[in-house]
Structure 1
Amino acid sequence: MSPLDAPRDPRNSDLEAALAEARETYSAARPNSAAIHAKARAVMPGGNTRTVLFYTPFPTAMTRGEGARLWDADGREYLDLCGEYTAGLFGHSETRILDAVKAAMDRGINLAAVGENEGRLAALICGRFPSVDQVRFTNSGTEANIMALAGARGFTGRTEVLAFRGGYHGGVFTFPVGTPVSPVNLPIPMRFADFNDPDGAARTIREAGEALAAVIVEPMQGSSGCIPATREFLQALREATRETGALLIFDEVMTSRHGFGGLQQRLGITPDMTTFGKYMAGGMSFGAFGGRAEVMAVFDGHRAGAMPHAGTFNNNVLSMAAGCVALGEIFDETAAEALYARGERLRDALNAACARHGVAMHFTGVGSMMTPHFRPGPVTAPYKASIEEEQMRELFFFDMLAAGMYLARRGMVALMLPVTDADCERFFAAVEEFCAARKPVLAQA
């Protein structure tokens, strides 16, 4: 038989063939997920209702979770490293949170009234984040950012907002590299600058002058690949906004987990306002925005002309009860520091493995969050990935699923508290196997 007639091993051939084989293997192993998706497509555009969970040929459907484990509709078990995109910090079966939610449900679900727990949870948040004198709750991080920007515009009497290319501040504030203006974004006058460019950002702030109400920034860009902001960059924003009177807003919806007082405390830079979300209500729906007392006073109903802030479920009893336990009993300073250290160790080990195998693959992040980039590091700014990079990322995703690792489709990992050192070692071994087996189709360092 001619060598040309010999069957090719897709793991050691060209990238497109390897990816095609991975997709076929994925599909063959998940007939029930495929059927669930097919039925959903008849009544939902794309077969789902949350873009980040959509991928082809069809998404894996999960049916159960316990601790740091998930089981899909076809009975396959996974180590959950997605962590509900940072919202699942406490895992799937933390008894203290479940007990708090059950107790709240037993007392009535929709009370249409204030309750003691919302004040308790507000005090917990104000007590740990340097920028927060007062806080209000929302249903999501998206809403938190909407209301923070509304408050900043109301307080300053100005209209424009500065955001950064590659940033993401919720479903209506998404600013991809190259085309930062999206049709889903709210019609707020926006200016844009480059992330981690302190001189350029400061210049843009000063040029905007009294037109600029606020600068909103993630201390680590999450959606663009867990790219940390440098302290120099954030300090430049702090100084320039103080000069011009614009408010500096830190979007810590994701990054507040990186320390007892978030990244603002770890970096020693205090914004005027901060937005929160994700994990703070123990996995229940949640968002919050807070800041200096004089800024938050624009929402004070005791004052004439206060800005309205509606939301049926802002103080829902489930989120308030779970949040008091999550922040008041479980995620204390010791737990936050231990989680941060575990993530730092894991990311360092992963990058050492990538370097050892000589592949152009690099994990960026802070603490318990990290994302692989299929190019040499360091990665300090968002970018538009090439077709080949996207194919390598998809291949990594399918290979991790095959190894029993569930992570975000874009590769992001968000460690949960129930994830152990042994679990991290399993993931490390899976990544090392990926580097070794896929080296022929990965870019070389």
Structure 2
Amino acid sequence: MSAARPLPRNSDLPGALAEARARYAAARPASAEQHRLAAAVLPGGNTRSVLAYTPFPTAMARGADCRLWDLDGHEYVDLCGEYTAGLFGHSEPRIHEALRQALANGISLAAVGQAEQRLAAILCARFASMERVRFTNSGTEANLIAVMAARAFTGRPALLAFRGGYHGGVLSFPLAGSSPLALPVPTVLADYNDLDGAVSAIREHAATLGAVIIEPMLGSGGCIPARPEFLAALREETAAAGIPLIFDEVMTSRMAAGGWQARLGLVPDLTTLGKYVAGGMSFGAFGGGRDIMDQFAGPLTHAGTFNNNALSMAAGCVAMGEVFGPEAAEALFARGEALRARLNGLCAAAGVEMGFTGLGSMMTVQFRAGPIDRPAAPTPAEEGLRELFFFDMMEAGLYLARRGMVALSLPVGEAETERFADAVAEFIAIREPLLKRQAHPA
């Protein structure tokens, strides 16, 4: 970071973006070449759409702790945290040792083992909603099977979900229209944080609703938390109608030892979890009360070669049993809360239309006036500013999601959060002409 206040750069957004893209591309010839090679064999040059952006994505070569190095040798502080899956960073020694031992004992044993029972016991003890749990290979799978289990249990076909919600590649609900890859399940959509609208939808469709699914905080939808009274109303209405309520805590379960539901004091019927639970391995889980879950001991079958794979089970026992306990969860939550408050303080002091939404260790930069309680289609100016923020952070040696999301990992400490705050302050100073001059609520 520069010692003196930097001068504003490019007072028009198109010019600023053109310059930022050019600087980005010029500094990364190896990533450009890698993208060229990949585009010949992978549609769009990738196999994971969230990692695609113009002019080409940075290709990473390796990681350690909370650091990344790209093919061109640039070093970054990793603030993306693998979109929350990388909670433990890149080199947690206890997880690495668990994986080494698991590899030494054989990868695919085609049998049950001790580790899966141990991990299941850990999760059932931590999450109040889980009397029984089953494992999958991703959060997407966990949400899919949870929805299907709820529909089987109730005998009702429909799902109520929320616009802007993301529960996996085939369970996403865009603000406008629908995803062509969406699971063909009859779906009723409601607006996030619209208490009256959601209650009305549940009551109107109660006879056909087999499940209600919600992220307690929208993840890809902009790190927008659900209001506690909104979630409490969903719990009350679904219970009254006999509709299973699913909390997708793939992301928010990191907010406390027992997930965000523990902080709220709410117990859903089913909870879904994702990859960080297994130390970042390919993993998902869904669990709930015996009445719903014991269907898998009888009429429902749930197969999957790698549901109990040796690597994920071994890593999960250590990750959740040793590394990410209640004390670590509390410390991470507090660190994120303090960082977001500081960033919003910088924005408010500068009087710019910019701020950060989120909970705990997850946050997303926003370029519109608050308060923000539901997702909205970004304007071209908002999208341009978010892209510019991404490129400026990359130039400062800070790697975050292209959409402006940050997910802190456990190795991210005071030095790294200080560096990010300094970079945000510099962004505000440099890009001040592009940011509307009005107060932004913290």
| 1:373 matched residue in structure 2 | 366
1:412 to 389, 405, 412: 405
Q: What letter is aligned with 1:231?
A: P
Aligned partner of 1:288 in structure 2 is 285
Partner of 1:226: 223
Partner of residue 100 from structure 1, selected from 80, 92, 98: 98
1:49 to 42, 47, 50: 47
Which one of the candidate residues 274, 278, 281 is aligned to 1:277? Answer: 274
- List aligned pairs for 1:172-211, cutoff 5 A: 172-179=170-177, 181-211=178-208
In the TM superposition, 1:351-366 aligns within 5 A as 351-366=344-359
Deviations 1:155-210 (A, max 9, x none): 1111000000010000101111122x211011000000010011110110010022
CA distance in 2, matches of 1:213, 1:135: 20
Q: Does 1:348 align with 2:335?
A: no
Q: How far apart, in 1, do the equivalents of 2:437 and 2:172 lie?
A: 32
Q: What CA distance in whole angstroms lies between the structure 1 residues aligned with 2:363 and 2:206?
A: 36
Partners of 1:359 and 1:130 lie apart in 2 by 42
Alignment pair present for 1:435 and 2:428? yes
- Check whether the contact 1:362–1:378 (CA below 8 A) recurs between aligned residues: no
CA distance in 2, matches of 1:280, 1:243: 32
Q: CA RMSD in A?
A: 0.9
Q: Provide TM-score, normalisation by structure 1.
A: 0.96
Which range moved further: 387-396 or 307-316?
307-316
Deviation at residue 125 of structure 1 after TM alignment: 0.5
Question: 2:4 aligns to what?
Answer: none
Instruction: Please say if 1:268 is aligned against 2:265.
Output: yes
Residue of structure 2 equivalent to 1:6: none
**Residue 251 of structure 1: how far off its partner (Å):** 0.2
SS at match of 1:188: coil
Given that residues 231 and 267 in structure 1 are in contact (C-alpha distance below 8 angstroms), is that contact kept between their aligned partners in structure 2? yes
- In the other structure, the counterpart of 2:75 is 77
* Cα displacement string for residues 199-251 of structure 1 (whole angstroms, at most 9, x for unaligned residues): 11011001002210100000000011100000110011111111111110000
Residue in 2 aligned with 1:155? 153
Offset of residue 10 of structure 1: 8.2
For the 8 Å contact 2:66–2:411, the answer to whether it is kept is: yes
CA deviations over 1:4-27 (Å, ceiling 9, x no partner)? xxxxx9823200000000000000
Measured after TM superposition, the shift of residue 356 of structure 1 is 1.1
Q: Which digits, 9 at most, give the CA deviation of each residue in 1:87-138, with x for residues without a partner?
A: 0000100000000001000000111111100000000100011100000000
State the AA in 2 paired with 1:149.
V
Indicate conservation of the 8 Å contact 1:254/1:278, yes or no: no
AA in 2 matched with 1:170? G
Alpha-carbon separation, structure 2, partners of 1:411 and 1:182: 22
Deviation at 1:444, TM superposition (A): 2.5
User: Any conservation in 1 of the 2:8–2:429 contact (CA below 8 Å)?
Assistant: no
Percent identity of equivalent pairs: 64
| 8 Å Cα contact 1:281-1:326 kept in structure 2 | yes
Q: Distance in 1 between matches of 2:11 and 2:235?
A: 50
Return the offset for 1:352. 0.4
User: What is the alpha-carbon distance in structure 2 between the residues aligned to residue 438 and residue 182 of structure 1?
Assistant: 35
2:121 maps to which of 107, 123, 126: 123
- Shifted more, 372-381 versus 160-169: the winner is 372-381
Cα shift readout 1:129-159 (whole Å, capped 9, x = no counterpart)? 1100000000000000000001001111110
Counterpart check, 1:335 vs 2:301: no
Specify the code of the residue in structure 2 equivalent to 1:37.
H
Structure 1 stretches of 5 or more lacking a match? 1-8
Give the conservation status (yes or no) of the 8 Å contact 2:159–2:187: yes
Does the Cα contact within 8 Å between 1:41 and 1:47 map onto a contact in 2? yes
User: Secondary structure at 2:268's aligned position in 1?
Assistant: coil
Aligned-partner SS, 1:216:
strand
The 1-side partners of 2:8 and 2:433 are apart by 10
Contact kept, 8 Å, 2:133 with 2:285, in 1: the verdict is: yes
Query: 1 CA distance for matches of 2:117 and 2:86?
Result: 23
Counterpart among 379, 387, 392 of residue 386 in structure 1 = 379
* Residue from 26, 29, 33 that aligns with 1:35: 33
- Cross-structure match for 2:107: 109
Residue 169 (structure 1) aligns with: 167
Aligned to 1:4: none
- 2:316 pairs, out of 316, 323, 327, with 323
* Structure 1 segment 59-78 matched on structure 2, within 5 A: 59-78=57-76
- Cα distance in 1 for residues equivalent to 2:436 and 2:268: 40
State the 1:69 CA deviation. 0.3
In 1, Cα distance between equivalents of 2:39 and 2:91: 31
Please give the TM-score of this superposition, normalised by the length of structure 2: 0.97
Note if contact 2:8-2:433 (Cα within 8 Å) is conserved in structure 1: no
